[in-house]
């Protein structure tokens, strides 16, 4: 009994030591926001793009940010999103960004538990559908354009006319992006290179998640190898990490003339520049700035933001939410054609989401001359006719 009493005293004593320092710190500290990253902060892909944006915002606005990476049940068994939000809030975070589609349910639950904290769920639609509370907004970049450029560059470069798309899991977002890549590729193949549409093969292989989870997903390294081993010479990556590019570089060392187009992160090409045609990437800084300023000034309102490129310069770090950085392996001719392609999209004279377009099952997506609405693009129901690969799980 005596032991127990002294134990309780000891715990109480330490607790008392901690309390005042917390209180003092809270008064002095700048605005703090938290970041939940689904992958490692240095994944050269999706999560690193978020991490770098947070660093840029920290510097520019004089705010502070905390982050926890590898937030997924495979890397952190038993750890949940609401639990981590509790942790970040206890450390003073007033706004929390959750960077994965996978956190949709968790962040909704957490937002309901912390109504005085603001939340931004990346890539979700809770603010659009009204399923989330008022303090939960959504942010996404219009990556369709980046992917169209990627598809365009792939089809301009390909010798075999066989383009592989390394897809993550299947949902509205990933179908939308695979479709965009296809539209870019088809345009390059038919309208610029004037080739027979039948000779273009565009195949999508899905691994089942945003990145490799051994034993759970298909292995992206193996999927990419399969592409290259069966005559595909360009692989466009749709996953969070850089396996496609790594494998392409290995194949080049073995004498195969193949290329890859990584995804998400501005400097993704650095992994293997010799095989890299370029990177469609997200620049989260403008979106982050918008929401942090709104939270700081008390002007917050629930928003569903789908931010596009700045067409005057799609690689402007302050204004363009999506961009495309050409890679060292891109030829000057392709580069020139790409610049022209971007110019046409910028001027509005070219809209690839224009009918006639058909879904994979043959039903009509867009009638002749009809242009897709945002909602039709966002909720992409199927892949398009002409693409190979499943539109949903069998």
Partner 1 sequence: MDRVRTILTVVAISTLTTCGALLIVGTNPVDVFSAFFKGTFSSWRHFAHVINVWIPLVICSCGLLFTFSLGLWNIGVEGQIMLGAVGTAWVMRHLADMTNPTVTLGIAFLMACLLGAIWATLSGILKIKSNVHEIFSGLGLNFVAQALVLWLIFGPWKRPGVASMSGTRPFPAAVWFPVPEGWRFSPIALVAALLVMGITAWIFISTRWGLLIRAVGNNSRAAEVHGISINGNFLLAMAVAGFLAGMTGYYQAVFVYHRLIPAISSNYGYLSLLVVMLAQYRWTPVPFIALLFAMLHVGSIQLPLTLNLDSSLGGVIQGILVLTTLGVVHFRRNS
Q: Identify which of 39, 52, 37 has the alpha carbon closest to the alpha carbon of residue 96.
A: 37
216 binds partner 1 (CB under 8 A): yes
Distance between CA atoms of 68 and 100, rounded to whole angstroms? 13
- Residue 84 lies near partner 1 (rule: CB under 8 A): yes
Q: Is 18 in the site for partner 1 (CB under 8 A)?
A: yes
Q: Which of 3, 59, 62, 78 binds partner 1 (CB under 8 A)?
A: 78
Rule CB under 8 A: is residue 87 a binding residue for partner 1? yes
Options 43, 52, 102, 271; binder of partner 1; rule CB under 8 A: 102
Integer CA distances (angstroms), 371 to 170, 365, 366, 374, 388, in order: 24, 10, 7, 10, 23
CA distances from 76 to 40, 68, 71, 103, 134 (A): 12, 11, 7, 13, 29
Q: Quick check: 171 binds partner 1 (CB under 8 A)? A: yes
Checking DSSP bridges between strand 259-261 and strand 234-237, what pairing results, if any? Answer: parallel
Strand partners for 64: 32
Radius of gyration of the chain, Cα coordinates, nearest whole angstrom: 23
76 binds partner 1 (CB under 8 A): yes
Interface with partner 1 (CB under 8 A), residue from 1, 28, 90, 349: 90
Rule CB under 8 A: which of 364-383 touch partner 1? Answer: 381
Q: Which range, of 12-20, 148-156, 220-228, 286-294, touches partner 1 by CB under 8 A? A: 12-20
By CB under 8 A, tell whether 105 contacts partner 1.
Answer: yes
133 binds partner 1 (CB under 8 A): no
Interaction residues for partner 1, span 230-259 (CB under 8 A): none
Q: How far is 235 from 367, CA to CA, in rounded Å? A: 30
The one segment of 119-127, 209-217, 240-248, 332-340 that binds partner 1 by CB under 8 A = 209-217
Binder to partner 1 among 68, 128, 201, 305 (CB under 8 A)? 68
Cα 165 from Cα 388, distance rounded (Å): 10
3-state SS class at 330 = coil
State the helix-helix crossing angle for 81-90 and 104-113, rounded to 10 degrees: 40
* Nearest distance from C-beta of residue 77 to partner 1, angstroms: 4
> Cβ(165)–Cβ(181) under 8 Å?
yes
> With contacts defined by CB under 8 A, how many residues of the chain interact with partner 1?
41
215 binds partner 1, rule: CB under 8 A = yes
Please report whether residue 29 would count as binding partner 1 according to CB under 8 A. Answer: no
The secondary structure of 188-215, three-state, reads HHHHHCCCCHHHCEEEEEECCCCCCCCC
Q: Which residues bind partner 1 (CB under 8 A)?
A: 11, 14-15, 18, 66, 68-69, 73-74, 76-80, 82-84, 86-87, 90-91, 101-102, 105, 109, 169-172, 206, 208-209, 213, 215-217, 381, 390, 392-394
């Amino acid at each position: 009994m005596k032991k127990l009493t002294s134990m309780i005293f000891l715990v109480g004593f330490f607790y008392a030591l901690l309390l005042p320092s917390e209180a003092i710190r809270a008064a002095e500290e700048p605005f703090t926001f938290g970041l939940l990253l689904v992958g490692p902060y240095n994944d050269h892909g999706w999560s690193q793009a978020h991490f770098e944006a947070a660093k840029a915002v920290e510097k520019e606005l004089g705010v502070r940010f905390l982050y926890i990476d590898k937030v997924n049940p495979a890397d952190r068994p038993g750890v949940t999103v609401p639990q981590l939000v509790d942790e970040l809030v206890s450390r003073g975070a007033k706004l929390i960004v959750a960077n994965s589609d996978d956190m949709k349910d968790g962040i909704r639950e957490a937002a309901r538990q912390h109504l005085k904290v603001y939340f931004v769920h990346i890539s979700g639609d809770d603010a659009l559908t009204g399923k989330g509370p008022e303090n939960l907004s959504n942010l996404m970049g219009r990556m369709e354009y980046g992917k169209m450029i990627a598809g365009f560059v792939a089809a301009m470069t390909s010798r075999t006319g066989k383009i592989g798309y390394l897809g993550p899991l299947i949902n509205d977002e990933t179908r939308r992006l695979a479709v965009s890549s296809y539209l870019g590729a088809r345009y390059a193949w038919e309208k610029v290179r004037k080739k027979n549409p039948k000779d273009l093969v565009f195949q999508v292989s899905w691994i089942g998640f945003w990145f490799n989870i051994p034993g759970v997903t298909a292995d992206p390294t193996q999927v990419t190898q399969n592409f290259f081993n069966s005559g595909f010479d360009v692989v466009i990556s749709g996953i969070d990490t850089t396996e496609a590019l790594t494998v392409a570089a290995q194949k080049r060392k073995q004498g195969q003339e193949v290329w890859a187009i990584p995804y998400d992160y501005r400097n993704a090409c650095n992994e293997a520049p010799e095989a890299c045609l370029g990177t469609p990437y997200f620049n989260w800084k403008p979106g982050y700035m918008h929401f942090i300023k709104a939270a700081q000034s008390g002007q917050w309102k629930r928003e569903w933001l789908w931010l596009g490129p700045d067409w005057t310069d799609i690689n402007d770090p302050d204004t363009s939410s999506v961009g495309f950085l050409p890679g060292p392996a891109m030829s000057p001719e392709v580069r020139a054609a790409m610049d022209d392609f971007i110019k046409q999209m910028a001027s509005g004279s070219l809209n690839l989401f224009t009918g006639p377009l058909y879904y994979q099952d043959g039903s009509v997506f867009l009638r002749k001359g009809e242009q897709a609405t945002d909602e039709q693009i966002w909720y992409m129901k199927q892949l398009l006719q002409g693409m190979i690969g499943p539109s949903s799980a069998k």
